[in-house]
Structures are given as C-alpha cells and as structure tokens.
Amino acid sequence: EVQLLESGGGLVQPGGSLRLSCAASGFTFSNYAMSWVRQAPGKGLEWVSFSSNSGGITQFADSVKGRFAISRDNSQNTLYLQMNSLRVEDTAVYYCAKDLAAAGLRAFDIWGQGTMVIVSS
Amino acid sequence: QSALTQPRSVSGSPGQSVTISCTGTSSDVGSHSYVSWYQRHPGKAPKLMIYDVTKRPSGVPDRFSGSKSGNTASLTISGLQAEDEADYYCCSNAGRKVVFGGGTKLTVL
C-alpha cells in the first residue's frame, strides 16, 4: 500500500525549532519529487517546500524562505522539514505529498495524514 | 489572501452539474499546464481529482472534468452525488513554486 506517514509535530515557542519527518512506503521513493504543504486553522492549503527526487533541487515559499530547510534520505525513504525561527503564523497541519514527477511541482497524488505544529508562548 | 481565486461556495442538487472556477494570472494558470484539483473531506487528506488541467487519475469518476481558458481553470462535476460534498482546491505551478486557491465548499442540496 502506498503510504506517507508524518511525525515530529508538537507545541513549540516562537523562535523555536522543530523537525518534521515523512516516512514513505509502497513506492520507489527515490523516483519522485516531494513537497510539504500546510493548512493553518480555518485557512486553505499553502505549499511550503519542494525537493526533487535526488534532493539536489529545492524550493521554498517566500513565507518560509531562510527559516525552513527540506532534505531527504532516499536510503531510508524519508523526507524531512527542518523548521527554525518559528512564528505564530507557522501554526498549521503539515502534510507531506508525493509528486507525480521526478522534477516536481506537477501535481500531488499521494498525501499523508498530516502532523500538527502549534507555535505559541 | 490566496494566490488563486475560487468562489467560497457552490451548491447543486443531486444529478445536476456544477462548475468551480479558479482564476490566477499569466504567471501561473495562464502560462502553465500543471493545473490540478483536489477534493478534501473533513478530517481527511486531500485527494487528487484532476492533473495537467484535464487528466483524471485512475479511480476518479469521469463525472469530474477539468478545463482552462486563459488565466482561469475550471472543475466541472456532472451528475452530482451526495459524496461529492467536500472542499475543492485548485493548484497551479508558478515557475519555482506552487500556488493554491483558497478552496470552494461544495454543498449537495
């Protein structure tokens, strides 16, 4: 079964850090680009970051550029999102999503169930 | 404010057709063929319904169809069914990023 399982969410103070993980199974992880997408309470979906299949190309939304880093370990079938200098407005459910393509940013055909990040003092 | 503009809500009766619009700019919808649509039921992960403007993934009923004209993409659902009631989001490649619409709540009356 094709599956993505996020972990690592939780409560963190403003200015703090958190690392999210996304474990993939049921498909050849190294063949596909991956993204992180978030949804803040009462808001719509917001794309956060992208990694090409090799991890050699990454992109970020302007709202997180310089604060978040994306990486992947293809030997462990795992995608990561390192979030630093967290702000209250980063509070959201974070989803990892599999892209249809290796190069990415085409469409997301598999989504995880999400992990909640709450930034609050 | 979301990058792509969708109506907040649409509604239709079972068996009818509804169309959800998604308006962007010449930097996203207007210049890219990577437009996709997602269905989201409460508490569930988004589900890909349309990709590459008009293509349906395996398993998605042919009642769902996509199109694009200029800077506006559209999702049409024909033969509405109760289980189609959900939130729908459009999405477009915008060069080195992806932009989503604000979402449209579809109510099946």
Exposure of A107 in the CB half-sphere (CA atoms within 13 A):
23
Strand order in the sheet with B72-77: B18-23, B72-77, B64-69
From chain A, pick out residues whose CB is under 8 angstroms from the CB of B59: none
**Structure confidence at residue B20 (pLDDT):** 98
**Structure confidence at residue B89 (pLDDT):** 97
How large a percentage of chain A has pLDDT more than 90? Answer: 94
Is some CB atom of chain A closer than 8 A to the CB atom of B99? yes
A48-105 tens-digit pLDDT: 999 999 999 999 999 999 999 999 999 999 999 999 999 999 999 999 999 998 877 8
Mean pLDDT of chain A: 95
**Structure confidence at residue A104 (pLDDT):** 77
Sign of CA dihedral B61, B75, A114, A102: positive
How large a percentage of chain A has pLDDT more than 70? Answer: 100
Quickly state the pLDDT bin for B2 (edges 50, 70, 90): low
How big, in percent rounded to 5, are the helix, strand and coil portions of chain B?
5, 50, 45
Is some CB atom of chain A closer than 8 A to the CB atom of B91? yes
Chain A residue with minimal CA distance to B91? A107
Is B79 within 8 Å of B12 (Cβ atoms)? no
Sign of CA dihedral A32, A73, B45, A35: negative
**Structure confidence at residue A98 (pLDDT):** 97
B30-55 tens-digit pLDDT: 988 899 999 999 889 999 999 999 99
Mean pLDDT of chain B: 94
Nearest to A43 by CA among B10, B2, B13, B39: B2
**pLDDT over 70 at A111, yes or no:** yes
